[in-house]
Amino acid sequence: MTFGKGRVGFQNPSEIIANIVDIIGAKGKLLVYSPGRGAGNLIASIAAQAGTDAGNAYLQGVTEYSNYIPNFVAMRQSGAGLDWSISVGSEAGPWTGLMSQTLVFIGSIASPALAIYPSFGLVTALDGTGTFIEAWIGPSGDTSGVTDFDLITAIYGAAVSLNVRLLVHYQPADYYWNSGVSIPNFCGLKGAFPVQSDTSSNYGIGSLALSGTVIHAAGAFTSVTPPTQLLACENLTNTSQFGGQYIADFSMEGNVTKAGTGVVGCLLYGGVGAGVMENISIHRFDGPNLRIQTDVASGKVPDQWRITRNVFSASRSSHGIQADNIPDSIFAYNLSHNNALNGGDFSGSVNTSFGLNRWENNAQNGVAFHGQVGAGEDTWINGDSSQLNQLSGFLFDAAAHANQGQYLLTGCRSNADGQVGGAGITAGFYDNGCKSAVICQGCTTIVNVTGPNYGAYVGSVAFGMALIGRRMFGNIANTHDDLTNVHALSDQVPIPF
């Protein structure tokens, strides 16, 4: 082996075998070339500092370089993570970051399944100031709810303090929370295997157990003074806009919540907007399974939410969905059934669209709309179906607001609602004093021996209802106007069969 002097070092084209090699110094480096030293041939480097050599720019740390013609990609190990960079057109740099992968440790590493969170994501966040991270958390098996709750609140707390956007992944397993979890801005929670089965449904032969990722209310939720909700996307200050949460693909079980406590499954509260809620099943909470609540002090409301493909079942004392006001939002392909009150209960829904939702087997109405918040406001209801509810299918009244707007229904169906029976007013479409126009086009009511009594009913000084191309039947009358209304029932082009 021949040693040179100065910067040349030593040169030996044959194999070098040694049991110890120390590279010492603030500028220490090891550069590996193939097939020879030259521009574009650097394949690996270990360097204390970034630098250049033979027309190549090398990075600090342990790095592997690959040629993806015409560009070069560097994969560098840095601390507990990996990052990828690109150099366009040559290996001379500059290197631009693509993405990173990091190990994050929270809690005791004595229990790796609970404390190690491998995460990766784009370097640039949605707003350009932070990092987007995904984290995977395994179940603890602690049915008291302490361990799972402490872990997820710790990692959300870390995300807030580090100003990163975080999506937590839960495995298809049982998790337990002993208190309510709040999802921070631009963060989310995603489960796996969202089957959406539940024990309150009959699937032809019988019911099915909850499956996939299931989050159970536990611990303090069993008391007579429990936390108010299991999961929340909330704005408690309402001095600046909150939002951007994503929750998907899991079930929530609230069967341990005691009667009369009003515990909510999921809460959307105050000025929190632009969120997504999909493929979630919320089951057997004492209060509403989904509660959408206005902040009373500021008047701020949840806004522009996309709520799709969810199941809200068997609230034991309340509605499947209860909303003070939910403007500019979309409700689509949801099922709300077997709840103690209404399947859906909306006191405000300006510029909100409902599409292909099902409201079934509820102890009161399928879905109830309690008036528009302001004059001239609209709500669209397209292809929704109500079935076997005890009272009416679609109820419109002025219980919350008396402003004149519009409810625009297209292709909606009521099937055998009014299962309470008797001679009272039950209708597939019931306008009970609503001060907005209710316009139904191509809507149908199917009747059985129990109900409903009317296909459509308008009364109690309502503004007016219009039926266009309806096919409606009732045990007492197909349609009825009690003659107290601002505008008489307009029944245009009824289907003659």
Element of type H or E holding 273: strand 272-273
Kindly state the average pLDDT of the residues 298-312.
97
C-alpha to C-alpha distance for 109 and 107, rounded to whole angstroms: 6
Q: Is the pLDDT of residue 253 over 80?
A: yes
Q: What's the DSSP call for residue 198?
A: -
pLDDT-wise least confident of 90-104, 185-199, 312-326:
90-104
How buried is 387 (Cβ within 10 angstroms: 0-12 exposed, 13-18 middle, 19+ buried)?
Answer: buried
Q: pLDDT at position 155, please?
A: 85
C-alpha to C-alpha distance for 455 and 414, rounded to whole angstroms: 8
Q: pLDDT at position 8, please?
A: 53
- The residue assigned the tokens 């099922």 is 335
Q: pLDDT at position 103, please?
A: 57
Kindly state the average pLDDT of the residues 218-239.
95
Q: Nearest 10 degrees: CA dihedral of 281, 287, 293, 298?
A: -150
pLDDT-wise least confident of 202-211, 216-225, 244-253, 308-317:
202-211
Q: Is the pLDDT of residue 130 over 60?
A: no
Peptide bond into 139 cis (omega under 30): no
Do 40 and 71 touch, CB atoms closer than 8 A?
Answer: no
The radius of gyration of the chain's CA atoms, rounded to the nearest angstrom, is: 31
Q: pLDDT at position 283, please?
A: 96
Count of alpha carbons within 13 angstroms of residue 429, beta-carbon side: 36
Q: What is the DSSP code string of 254-269?
A: -TTSPTTS--EEEEEE
Q: Is the pLDDT of residue 18 over 80?
A: no
Q: pLDDT at position 162, please?
A: 77
Question: In angstroms, how far is the first alpha carbon of the chain from the final one?
Answer: 102
Q: What's the DSSP call for residue 451?
A: -
Q: Nearest 10 degrees: CA dihedral of 224, 225, 226, 228?
A: 120
